[in-house]
């Protein structure tokens, strides 16, 4: 799903008070970590992740990894924090994605 500017602005406003759900550490980017992020996104649709100081990757590496290996949209990067969005397949969890579609 390609996001427009207004949709990204809405998602950023929704994530303003959120805390990071996951961290990337010295183990870096793995498929197991990606599966965990996909599971969390199926339940929440919008999450923040944080890159720890001792990680061997930077935000560009994480963004490229996520976008090439999944359908996750990286909405925003601030420092070492990324905001991720993926519409849920489960209708019960489609709260944010319904609002985004209406914008």
Task: Compute the average pLDDT of residues 46-63.
Answer: 93
Using CB atoms within 10 Å of the CB of residue 13, give its burial: 0 to 12 exposed, 13 to 18 middle, 19+ buried: exposed
Task: Compute the average pLDDT of residues 45-51.
Answer: 95
SS3 81: strand
DSSP string, 19-78: PP-EEE-TT---HHHHHHHHHHHHHHSEEEEEE-TT-S--HHHHHHHHHHHS--EEEEEE
Entry pTM: 0.90
Domain boundaries, the chain: 5-102
The predicted pLDDT at position 95 comes to 87
Q: Which CATH number fits domain 5-102: 3.30.110.60, 3.20.20.70, 3.40.50.1010, 3.40.50.10470?
A: 3.30.110.60
Does residue 1 have a pLDDT over 80?
A: no
pLDDT classification of 97: cutoffs 50, 70, 90: confident
């Amino acid at each position: 799903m390609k996001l427009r500017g207004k949709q990204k602005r809405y998602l950023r406003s929704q994530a303003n008070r959120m805390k990071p759900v996951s961290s990337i550490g010295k183990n870096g980017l793995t498929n197991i970590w990606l599966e965990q992020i996909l599971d969390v996104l199926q339940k929440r649709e919008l999450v923040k992740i944080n890159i720890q100081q001792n990680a061997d990757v930077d935000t560009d590496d994480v963004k490229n990894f996520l976008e090439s290996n999944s359908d996750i949209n990286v909405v925003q990067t601030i420092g070492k924090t990324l905001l991720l969005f993926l519409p849920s397949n489960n209708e019960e969890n489609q709260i944010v994605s319904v609002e985004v579609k209406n914008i």
